[in-house]
Amino acid sequence: MNTLNETHDPKLRSWVASANEAGCDFPVQNLPFGRFRTARGVEALRIGVAIGDQVLDLRATGLIHTDDMNALMAASPADRRALRAAISAGLAEGSSRQGAWQGALHAQSALEMAVPCHIGDYTDFYTGIHHATTVGKLFRPDNPLMPNYKWVPIGYHGRASSIGVSGQHLRRPLGQLKGAADAPPVLGLTQRLDYELELGYFAGAGNALGEPIPMGEAEQHLFGLALFNDWSARDVQAWEYVPLGPFLSKNFASTVSPWIVTMEALAPFRAPLKRPAGDPQPLPYLDSAANREHGALDITLEVWLQTAKMREAGAPAVRLTRGNAREAAYWTPAQLIAHHTVGGCNLQPGDLLGSGTLSGRKPDEAGSLLELTLGGKNRITLPNGESRTFLEDGDTLTLRGCCERAGAVRIGLGECAGTVLPAVALDA
């Protein structure tokens, strides 16, 4: 795992003034990677590093000679650390590179951001034990957790082609809905559109087909993470998910934040993996001393909602929930890598592993409306008098995340936002 070095020094400041402001998501201790263009939809995407409210065009600095983010992600851990050190030194206050790099900066507000890399494959896991338990109680009151949950990281293969970047506008999907009693199903618009608060883990260097990645090497194959919203049509999901899991209820849209916060940047915010007393210990291929000591991630996660009426009235978004990934996730990113590859599956740079919904124990830590409203039974009332059980057209849902710890500089994950649009009419 990554260790602390000079790039994490709390005293380090940047010559980019906005990076030194209190509460900034992107101080010089963070340095997340993304892809951008200055002319919307016209020029090729370039690799950038977020610093304060600016983006550093990495190729323009001369530190890299490619615009292929996946190629950069395939670099060895040593090369990634060296690149981070060089970027940090160049952006540090008093750096001799300030004059040369000043012209490589662009205001974030003026850029078009893209999905941060090419996502070849996407697997969604189910690591949020409180989410799994609460949802399980709604459908299986006597047996909320399936017997395999505490033994194996449960996951399913998702749809990479419908993943968009923050700011995405998604159409309300159609799907088969179960009719009342013995009535046949009908094709209709989902009435139970939901979000899922997740983290997305991006693979770095891959593995050869047939060669598993052991736990001791798993984090070397992780490039970093981003916020991730796996939008869900709950009524479609309830009808279709047996026996093979989600399909149309999930494949219509997912949204990822534009910045990949690297595993190196997260080094100050690691935490022990804690299992409740009496729970089984992982099988050996999912266990290591390092993972037990600091395999978990201390990341605060928030969900914000702004309705169309709030937006029209100039009212800000309201926070729905706030929790922490450390308390929510039953399995660590390293365990997901080890399990995903134990049968010989070959991961490739840019592959995305979703954490699954990260909900805490308390209602105000829920990572979905399905939990927050107990399946639609309890409406939530917003400050302007509107209420919700599930998302309505015009709603903008935003995920936010940050890492804060004594002795370290706060870093943020940026935002992951999406707005619900009405469905496209289906021709008869």
Q: pLDDT digit string (tens) for 154-180?
A: 999 999 999 999 999 999 999 999 988
108 is in an annotated binding site: no
pLDDT digits (tens, 9 = 90+) for 258-298: 999 999 999 999 999 989 999 999 999 999 999 999 999 99
29 with 147, same domain: the answer is no
pTM reported for the whole predicted model: 0.96
196 with 84, same domain: the answer is no
Domain boundary among 60, 93, 114: 114
Q: Any catalytic annotation for residue 169? A: no
- List b or e across 357-369, with b for residues whose CB sees 16 or more CB atoms inside 10 angstroms: bbbbeeeebbbbb
154 with 294, same domain: the answer is yes
180 with 237, same domain: the answer is yes
Is 287 within the bounds of a domain?
yes
Residue 408 has a pLDDT of: 97
Is 1 within the bounds of a domain?
no
96 with 217, same domain: the answer is no
Work out how many domains the chain is built from and give that number: 2
By DSSP bridging, strand 254-256 and strand 163-165 are parallel
Is 284 within the bounds of a domain?
yes
Residue 49 belongs to domain spanning? 6-114
196 is in an annotated binding site: yes
pLDDT digits (tens, 9 = 90+) for 235-256: 999 999 888 889 999 999 999 9
109 with 160, same domain: the answer is no
185 with 261, same domain: the answer is yes
350 with 210, same domain: the answer is yes
User: Which of 29-33, 36-40, 319-323, 410-414 has the lowest average pLDDT?
Assistant: 36-40
Domain boundary among 114, 133, 151: 114
241 is in an annotated binding site: yes
Task: Return the percentage of the chain with pLDDT > 70, whole number.
Answer: 99
Provide the CB-side half-sphere exposure for 24 (13 A, CA): 21
pLDDT digits (tens, 9 = 90+) for 365-380: 999 999 999 999 999 9
Task: Compute the residue count for the chain.
Answer: 428
281 is in an annotated binding site: no
Q: With 90 as the cut, is the pLDDT of residue 347 above it?
A: yes
Q: Could you give the CA distance from residue 340 to residue 283 in angstroms, rounded to a whole number? A: 14
287 is in an annotated binding site: no
Is 308 within the bounds of a domain?
yes
Tell me the two tokens of residue 262.
């690297």
Q: With 90 as the cut, is the pLDDT of residue 79 above it?
A: yes
Catalytic-labelled residue, pool 131, 221, 339, 340: 131
Looking up residue 37, the CATH number of its domain turns out to be: 2.30.30.230
* Type of residue at 310: M
Question: For residue 211, what pLDDT band results from cuts at 50, 70 and 90?
Answer: very high
94 with 241, same domain: the answer is no
Domain boundary among 93, 114, 135: 114
240 with 386, same domain: the answer is yes
Looking up residue 203, the CATH number of its domain turns out to be: 3.90.850.10
Q: Phi-psi bin for 403: left (phi > 0), alpha (psi -120 to 50), beta?
A: beta
**Burial class of residue 53 (count of CB atoms within 10 Å of its CB; 0-12, 13-18, 19+):** middle
312 is in an annotated binding site: no
Residue 334 has a pLDDT of: 98
